[in-house]
Amino acid sequence: MKNKRRIEVLNEKIDDLCKGYDDIPWGKNEYLAQDKEKFELIYKEIKKIKKQEQKYSCCYCNVSLIESHEMIIDVEHILPKSIFNRMTFVLDNLSISCKRCNMGIKNDDLSFFNKNKSEFEKINDEKKVGLSSDYKIIHPNLDNIYTYVHREEISIDGFKLTLFKLNSNGKGKYHKSYFQLGEITRSCLDAIQGIEPRKNYLRASSIDLLKGDDGLVHR
């Protein structure tokens, strides 16, 4: 099926799913039992479309997801669905990312968004992602990541070294710092030197999200 038609069919399915709800539920558990399966199928379809669009790589750190298990590829909501519930199925607000960038770093944080809290309700109601300049980070659908950042992987004596080259200032610099891409390079260098790579990129807020029912952090 051509992509345009696929998206039309998908949007019809989404409209059908959301019918009968006062507001758009953003999480699986907010749907009635009989709709949960539909919800999951729609998410699967979104993932398929976005994986292709994103060339099977994380929209933020550009790591290849080709060999990744489905479970560790997230449908990423650039404006978080927990705050912008009506953007849950807005394709321009969606992409795919790795768990490090999504759950480890970004989560529900909005410090990268150049809009005031007072405008959130209107944005949510209108379901509009806005302009590239509304985002300090490289937006997966409004920007081209390769204009700003290039991920390169080289092999040294069997060790992989990941480097990020900035093509220009502006968003690339902020994006690299926000997603702590330099930490990836530093961890590679640690590994080459026989030091256990650091994994100190988790934001404080994300640790709570990773806590299981037992209160322990599961990564």
**CA–CA dist 200, 181 (Å, integer):** 12
From the list 104, 75, 103, 69, the residue with the least C-alpha distance to 91 is: 75
Residues 115-144 that bind Zn ion (CB under 5 A): none
**CA–CA dist 104, 126 (Å, integer):** 29
Q: 64 or 133, CB closer to Zn ion? A: 64
- How many whole angstroms from its chain centre is CA 72? 12
Q: Please report, in angstroms and rounded to a whole number, the separation of the first and last CA atoms in the chain.
A: 38
Of 47-55, 101-109, 150-158, 192-200: span binding Zn ion (CB under 5 A): 101-109
User: Is residue 96 involved in binding Zn ion (CB under 5 A)?
Assistant: no
User: Is residue 145 involved in binding Zn ion (CB under 5 A)?
Assistant: no
Q: How far is the CB of 119 from Zn ion (least distance, A)?
A: 28
Residues 57-86 that bind Zn ion (CB under 5 A): 58, 60-61
Phi, psi (deg, nearest 5) at residue 39: -60, -45
User: Is residue 98 involved in binding Zn ion (CB under 5 A)?
Assistant: yes
Query: Which residues, including other chains, have CB under 8 Å from residue 151's CB and lie 6 or more apart?
Result: 61, 62, 63, 162, 163, 164
E strands along the chain, which residues? 73-77, 94-98, 149-156, 159-166
Q: How far is the CB of 23 from Zn ion (least distance, A)?
A: 30
Q: 81 or 106, CB closer to Zn ion? A: 106
Distance set, CA 127 to CA 62, 153, 199 (Å): 26, 37, 35
Q: How far is the CB of 100 from Zn ion (least distance, A)?
A: 5
Q: 46 or 61, CB closer to Zn ion? A: 61
Of 67-75, 98-106, 125-133, 189-197: span binding Zn ion (CB under 5 A): 98-106
Q: 77 or 86, CB closer to Zn ion? A: 77
Q: 60 or 84, CB closer to Zn ion? A: 60
User: Is residue 101 involved in binding Zn ion (CB under 5 A)?
Assistant: yes
Which residues of this protein are in contact with Zn ion, per CB under 5 A?
Answer: 58, 60-61, 98, 101
